[in-house]
Amino acid sequence: MKKIAITGSPNVGKSVLFNGLTHTYNAVVSNYPGTTVEVTSGKVRIGSYEFEIVDTPGMYSLYPITEEEKVARSILLDRSVCLILHVIDAKNLERMLGLTMQLQEAGLNVILVLNIMDEARKLGISIDIDALEKELGIPVAATVSTTGEGLDSLRGKIEDYVRKIS
């Protein structure tokens, strides 16, 4: 079974996105070995693939300071992770792209998830998804995890990307 890790800063909607993708009824919460940090995982079928999805603790950088960030980094760099969903707050795109760049520089397979798009739109923020994909060289999905907006498109991008890298 292929593994997907969800990462991003605290309060960007990672866990809500996790719940939307896994429907939470198959979620398992456990302590990461050797720590008191809780990690949630669940199983989901997307297209013809079955995935284990891991919701990592919040982190700002691949250079960890806190125990939670060390656990998140360890999960992301685990060779069994085939894809990382980097979830960011679309209202703070520029500030949050640093971790996206670090993930790419580490040679990891990344889909950028611009979450909280409803609030970004209310603030008059418009993001050209196609231009951002070209600039970054990775798939980009726009979502509102609290309502489920964009999750079908994200699932399609996951399936297409995993097919491409397999």
Is the model's pLDDT at 121 over the cut of 80?
A: yes
Task: Please count the residues of the chain.
Answer: 166
Q: pTM for the whole thing?
A: 0.93
Is the model's pLDDT at 134 over the cut of 90?
A: yes
Tell me the CATH number at 90.
3.40.50.300
Give all strands (DSSP E) within the chain, no chain letters: 2-7, 28-31, 38-46, 49-55, 81-89, 110-115, 140-142
Number of domains in the chain: 1
Q: What is the pLDDT of residue 166?
A: 85
Furthest CA-CA distance within the chain: 45
Q: What is the pLDDT of residue 23?
A: 83
Domain carrying residue 93: 2-165
Residues 2-42 pLDDT 10s: 999 999 999 999 999 999 999 865 555 555 666 557 788 99
